[in-house]
């Protein structure tokens, strides 16, 4: 059975493992609803992936829940359009 010849201190052990750690994820925004989404995943809020509907989120809901969800999605789309209209780049172009 193999036995280490020298005691490895906690400092040396930590130096050996210093590159082993969890990295922070960078969430992206959904192009449809604007919610934070991990890269290469379907948006849980609207069910879209790369601009195409992957899951029918509204199909699983009951009638009351569906109406509420549709209103949420419509208001989010309206907010996204308003943000695009009021972007600083477009405002600076119109002032010229």
In a domain, 12, yes or no: no
Total of domains in the chain: 1
Q: For residue 33, is it within any domain?
A: yes
Three-state SS letters, the chain: CCCCCCCCCHHHHHHHCCCCCCCCCCCEECCCCCCEECCCCCCCCCCEECCEECCCCHHHCCHHHHHHHHHHHHHHHHHHHHHHHCCHHHHHHHHC
In the predicted structure, residue 11 carries a pLDDT above the cut 90? yes
The string of pLDDT tens digits covering residues 83-93 is 777 666 665 66
- Residue 51 banded pLDDT, cuts 50, 70, 90: confident
Reported as a pLDDT band with limits 50, 70 and 90, residue 16 is very high
26-38, pLDDT tens digit by residue? 888 888 888 899 9
In a domain, 72, yes or no: yes
Instruction: Look up the domain containing 46 and give its range.
Output: 23-95
Written as six digits, the tokens of 23 are: 């990295």
Take residue 32 and report the two structure tokens written for it.
């449809």
């Amino acid at each position: 059975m193999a036995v280490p010849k020298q005691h490895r201190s906690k400092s040396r052990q930590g130096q050996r493992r210093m590159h082993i750690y969890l990295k922070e994820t960078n969430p992206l925004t959904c192009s449809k609803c604007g919610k934070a989404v991990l890269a290469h995943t379907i948006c849980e809020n609207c069910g879209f992936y790369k601009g195409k509907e992957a899951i029918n989120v509204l199909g699983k809901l009951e009638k009351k829940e569906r109406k509420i969800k549709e209103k949420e999605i419509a208001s989010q789309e309206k907010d996204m359009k308003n943000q695009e209209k009021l972007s600083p780049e477009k405002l600076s172009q119109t002032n010229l």
